[in-house]
């Protein structure tokens, strides 16, 4: 494969070491491309199961993003079980911590949210030394799961008792950050995986509207790769035509593939 000189983990650590914030525009640029990569593999029925900053390669000369390390990836077949002990701990969806072996692409979406949060914080949002501690870190932010949520999370019916912990406002965790970014994280960080947005819906979120501005391309301030060069196959893979119209700006060459 091509040699890609950097990855998102090193970039995050570099900014944190220098006590600088990761530029918001590049957060948008890099995570949009990550979401696009996820939309492609998910449309093929494949889940990555190890989304984390070290696996997001960055060519800093072009700002092009590559998703790497498919050693944990799997093609999901409806009704089949999958191992729950998968995905690096800080980026592991709560259903995996509970041992749920019936899961889907939404575990990648949770990990995506963890990567996005880390870009803003300079460190992982949920940092537990062991699985139970990891779950407690999630509960501190989302609050304790209710009975309805536990039905999905706890497929192996282990009895859990949680203290009454209310959700903690993401606005307090990410003070001064764009409201659109916080809104996106709120949508992703939910115990109910069916309510998490898919990768296409993430790309269509208002947080990425700046990337769709023709002025950004024209002013030449940033090095921006071809992020809207969607193939006809990618467009047809989107389950909602309204969503793909929100993703692609009307000035992009790929917009012509939308019927």
Nearest CA among 70, 56, 67 for reference residue 11: 56
Q: Which residues are catalytic?
A: 50
Q: What is each CA distance from 102 to 28, 33, 113, 241, in whole angstroms?
A: 31, 27, 21, 29
pLDDT mean over 41-50: 96
Query: Predicted confidence band at 226 (pLDDT cuts at 50, 70, 90)?
Result: very high
pLDDT, averaged across the chain = 92
Task: State if pTM tops 0.75.
Answer: yes
Nearest CA among 16, 197, 45, 202 for reference residue 121: 16
pLDDT mean over 224-233: 93
* pLDDT tens digits along 48-86: 999 999 999 999 999 999 999 999 999 998 878 888 888
Architecture of domain 6-257: Orthogonal Bundle (1.10)
Q: Residue 87 pLDDT more than 60? A: yes
| pLDDT for the residue numbered 44 | 95
| pLDDT for the residue numbered 151 | 73
Q: 79 — alpha (psi -120 to 50), left (phi > 0) or beta?
A: left
Q: 167 — alpha (psi -120 to 50), left (phi > 0) or beta?
A: beta
* pLDDT tens digits along 140-188: 999 988 878 887 776 655 566 677 788 899 999 999 999 999 999 999 9
184 alpha carbon, distance to own chain's centre: 10
């Amino acid at each position: 494969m091509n040699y890609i000189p950097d990855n998102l983990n090193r970039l995050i650590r570099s900014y944190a070491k220098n006590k600088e914030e990761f530029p918001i525009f590049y957060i948008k640029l890099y995570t949009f491309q990550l979401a696009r990569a996820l939309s492609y593999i998910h449309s093929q029925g494949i889940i990555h199961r190890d989304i984390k900053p070290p696996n997001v390669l960055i060519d800093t000369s072009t700002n092009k993003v590559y998703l790497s390390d498919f050693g944990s990836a799997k093609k999901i077949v409806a009704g089949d079980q999958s191992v729950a002990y998968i995905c690096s701990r800080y980026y592991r969806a709560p259903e995996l911590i509970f041992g749920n072996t019936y899961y889907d692409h939404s575990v990648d979406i949770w990990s995506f949210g963890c990567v996005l949060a880390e870009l803003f914080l300079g460190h992982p949002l949920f940092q537990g030394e062991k699985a139970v501690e990891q779950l407690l870190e999630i509960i501190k932010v989302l609050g304790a799961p209710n009975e309805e949520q536990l039905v999905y999370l706890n497929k192996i019916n282990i009895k859990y008792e949680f203290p009454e912990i209310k959700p903690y406002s993401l606005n307090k965790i990410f003070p001064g950050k764009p409201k659109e970014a916080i809104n996106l994280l709120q949508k992703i960080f939910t115990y109910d995986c069916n309510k998490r947005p898919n990768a296409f819906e993430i790309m269509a979120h208002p947080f990425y509207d700046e990337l769709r501005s023709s002025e950004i391309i024209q002013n030449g301030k940033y090095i921006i790769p071809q992020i809207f060069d969607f193939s006809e196959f990618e467009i047809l893979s989107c389950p909602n035509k309204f969503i793909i119209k929100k993703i692609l700006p009307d000035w992009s060459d790929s917009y012509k593939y939308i019927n």
